[in-house]
Chains A and B, each alone.
Chain A
């Protein structure tokens, strides 16, 4: 056996590396190949989405968010508070199992690392369970005032085509809507409906909805920033079934040894999350939120809207926020002086007089908004 022949054996591990890396990186890409579907116009697609109706579904939802939010030193987004849950959901990757059955049964379980948080409602009562703390919270839901859906549905003259057209007309000045192609989502053929802002004041490049070509249910939403090609937010099904889940899916029996608390029922029905892990759990915890800050005000409209909060005392106590802001860029204008915090998508302006402006807009738009905003 010659040396050349022997050294050729090393080609085997090298090709093994190539194979493993190739399958690992290209596998998902190949699986996402665009399926061939008949052409459809944006208006038709929107009309179809309007009429979409499923009696039930279950599946796995994966969300990944990379807003480029800077990590606040010393502030861990714990899931103890409602705002903590929101921040947590807006960063990193999450997987959740979801199930829904018309009209009012829903279950969301977020699969955490070696733990699980479950929210489930069978229409009469709602449960929240946290396996890490082994605590369950029960809510008695108020008697059916008819749930949101039938209200929205309905007058006899309801025509999805008209609604779609009205919607398109309404957003036409600000947004370009088109069907940008097809893709496979959760193994199903889907059309991609793309919304592109016409203004350059926003950091949003486009928002794409993947709409299932059979049930017309949106399967995936992805938000692309103006710069870059990776979605800042992507949330969608990784697998989905449109069979109605059995009633036992939504039932919850508090296990032995689990502490059950029963706070006073909220006056409004918690939203039934439809497929997406929106956060009904936030409701009972709202009371904990410090009520010092003023109600947020929305300035401007459409893509360039900016949220303003007044009377926020963030700085001046030498806390982690101060340290963090020390590194931020200082800006000045007719509106005063403040610090600007930028990230891939969300920008915020914190003025010295305690106002915070934030939005999916460019830093300049924030300053313009600050100049026009009431004190």
Chain B
């Protein structure tokens, strides 16, 4: 395998050989995602969320006016992390995931690089796996960006201290930060279903923009469906049904049932759409 690893190390021909070398494939996939300017723009937008919320609350100086996490920010900067994550979940984070996942396969095929990758049939499944792992890492990077930005802004602008849980008990700041970190992980995992949908849609087309639009359209439709009370029978099956369960981590003790159900649902979506993307990519003709 020495020639292939030598090839993988050389930047010019890294892509074609990557199919044979799993680690190099994952690495090059990550480089592809995080080497793009748009990825960093997306992360910068996400990092701006806590900044905007923090500055707005600081300027208005409202003390406990708002209900929920937002109302607690002024009293404890740590809640800026939770509030920012919570507020990014319905829109900003899905948008970012849509952009990156829509790009993943369709982007390659629009550039013509997918053709090279597909010529090695044994590498197709691995290519898809590498794309998915890169997407998952992006989801984590997105929520961690908010976590870090929220931490910095919250600590600079507001007093911090022991954390008041939903159940009315108090935990130390360190444990509070850990729970906020767990929330970031749970939210990143909550996005996996959408990432799976995006990956599948991206495998269908060679136009990244079409893939993004279709994925986001699907997301909007699911959102509308979950807002119609008459069809509440199907609500537990919709992608975002359990998204708000991340707040259960702030109970005393944390309530895992809803989080577990949400993650199972995400796993279900991911399994279905990942298999579909796999069927599509492995049965695809090389044009």
Contacts and interface: CB of A to CB of B under 8 A. Distances in A.
Given A113-B244, A114-B86, A131-B167, A20 B72 contact: no
A194 interface: no
B64 interface: yes
Contact of A255 (B168, B237, B282): B168
A12 interface: yes
A20 B272 contact: yes
A129 interface: yes
Interface string A147-184: 00000000000000000000000000000000000000
Contact of B69 (A113, A114, A116): A114
B167 A116 contact: yes
B67 A111 contact: no
Contacts of B67: 115, 132-133
A118 B168 contact: yes
Nearest to B282: A9
A134 B70 CA distance: 12
Contact of B247 (A19, A114, A136, A257): A114
B58 to A, nearest CB: 17
Contacts of B168: 116, 118, 127, 129, 131, 136, 252, 254-255, 258
A187 to B, nearest CB: 13
A134 to B, nearest CB: 7
A132 B275 contact: no
Contacts of B273: 13
B166 interface: yes
A131 B166 contact: yes
A95 B248 CA distance: 12
Contacts of A238: 257
B275 A116 contact: no
A6 interface: yes
A175 B278 CA distance: 59
Interface string A84-106: 00000000000101000000000
B255 interface: yes
A116 B237 CA distance: 24
B276 interface: yes
Interface size class of A (residues with CB under 8 A): 35 or more
Interface in A106-124: 109, 111, 113-116, 118
Nearest to A11: B279
A15 to B, nearest CB: 8
Contacts of B164: 134, 255-258
Most chain A beta carbons < 10 A, residue from B72, B86, B121, B255: B255
Nearest to A129: B168
A1 B122 CA distance: 12
A116 B166 contact: yes
Interface in B249-269: 251, 255, 257-258, 268
Contacts of B247: 113-115
Contacts of A95: 255, 257-258
Nearest to A120: B168
A256 B121 CA distance: 62
A12 B248 contact: no
Given A10-B279, A118-B167, A255-B168, A16 B257 contact: no
A99 to B, nearest CB: 12
B271 interface: yes
B228 to A, nearest CB: 13
Contacts of A132: 67-68
Contacts of A258: 164, 168
Contacts of A114: 68-69, 86, 166, 244, 247
Contacts of B276: 10, 13, 16
Contacts of A317: none
Interface in A51-96: 60, 95
B275 A16 contact: yes
Interface of A: 1, 6-7, 9-10, 12-13, 16-17, 19-20, 23-24, 60, 95, 97, 109, 111, 113-116, 118, 127, 129, 131-134, 136, 238, 252-258
22 contacts: A12-B275, A13-B279, A16-B271, A16-B275, A20-B271, A95-B255, A95-B257, A97-B255, A109-B251, A111-B255, A113-B244, A114-B166, A115-B247, A118-B168, A133-B67, A134-B71, A253-B170, A254-B168, A255-B170, A256-B164, A258-B164, A258-B168
Interface of B: 64, 67-69, 71-72, 75, 86, 121, 161-162, 164, 166-170, 237, 244, 247-248, 251, 255, 257-258, 268, 271-273, 275-276, 278-279, 282-283
